[in-house]
Amino acid sequence: MSRVIVAMSGGVDSSVAAALLLEQGYEVIGVTMQLWSADLPYGETAEDSCCSLAAVEDARAVANELGIAYYVLNLHESFRENVVDYFVAEYLQGRTPNPCIVCNQKLKFNRLLDKVKALEGEFVATGHYVRTEYDSAAGRWLLRKGLDSTKDQSYVLYGLTQDQLGASLFPLGGYTKVEIRKLAVRYGLPVASKQESQEICFIPDQNYRRFIDEYRPGATKPGKIVDDEGNILGEHTGITNFTIGQRKGLGIAAGVPLFVKAIDPLHNEVVVGPAEAVFTKKLTASKLNWIAFNQPDREIAVEAKIRYAAQPAPAKLIPSGEEVEVVFDEPQRAVTPGQAVVFYRDDLVLGGGIIERGNE
């Protein structure tokens, strides 16, 4: 009997993942990674977030219902160093990071795999809506989108290595969310009707500026809002208030609607322009991870997704050393440095990286 460690957040998805694996004959152990706490400096968690005390209690209740062993793993310090510090540093550089991607790479499929070894397990499992398979001809693990296109989470898992994919199970990948809800009821899970939490777990009010000001006092400073020619149109209270494509909250009056086109941390300026100024056909990405193959050595056709909620768009991928240039068939709105760009071919994840800049 294979032993699997299930990352349990106290939500419906991870709870059903544990139940399904148990039903399939695995020896299941539940683990909740306590990443953030209201007791920490600057700590604040929503009652229904994956980091809250209530989440631990819900996960423990599910483990008791299923009759499986359950542990809480304290990763406060690791989460602060790898995720929160990174999040704040990126915003202070005028970039817009996705902390969930880093959390998956550094903690859920890194530190949790260490726990698997400590508990003499074979696999780690999560409630992500993705699918994996082994390509024996290529000798590689493949990552595919989840069957439910409205819940697919492959975008945030593009950074998984071959070793991590080979040691991971994703039992929900072939189900829809509706089916998972029904399974939760059938299994009699106490979280069957629990609603999902959408916010970043350590900033439940979504007020990034407040959090950054409290976490790094004095790091944000007022500056100028300018146009492409350097004309001063107004002032801002800190570049952390802005992201590419933003229109609201600029605090300036103009004859046409203006949008954030670029953020210049060196000069502490926010550059704005008309609506068409936030569209681009090119981007450059680095910190690449390839899943379906080794790093490409020639131009290839891909579908590129520039943010979690975006639709993949046809593009050409052109390798250039440690970076790639992505040239879209059609201009894309608000290509944002710090966000991930993930490359697909139909439902297959080819790989991805971090957007360094949008090119004119």
Residues marked as catalytic = 103, 201
Read off the amino acid at residue 87.
F
d(CA 355, CA 350): 16
Q: Are the CB atoms for 93 and 265 separated by under 8 Å?
A: yes
The strands making up 259-264's β-sheet, listed across from edge to edge, are 232-236, 223-226, 269-273, 259-264
Compute φ and ψ for 181, nearest 5 degrees.
-60, -45
Tokens of 224: 């100028």
Q: How far apart are the first and last CA of the chain?
A: 56
d(CA 223, CA 234): 9
Q: Are the CB atoms for 171 and 146 separated by under 8 Å?
A: no
Sign for the pseudo-dihedral over CA of 139, 293, 157, 77: positive
Is residue 179 packed enough to be buried (19+ CB in 10 Å), middle (13-18) or exposed (0-12)? middle
d(CA 112, CA 33): 8
Compute φ and ψ for 285, nearest 5 degrees.
-130, 150
Strand ranges inside the chain, DSSP E: 3-7, 27-34, 69-74, 123-125, 130-135, 140-145, 168-169, 223-226, 232-236, 259-264, 269-273, 279-290, 300-305, 313-320, 323-333, 340-345, 348-359
Beta bridge partners of residue 343, listed in sequence order: 304, 351
Read off the amino acid at residue 324.
V
Tokens of 72: 């809480």
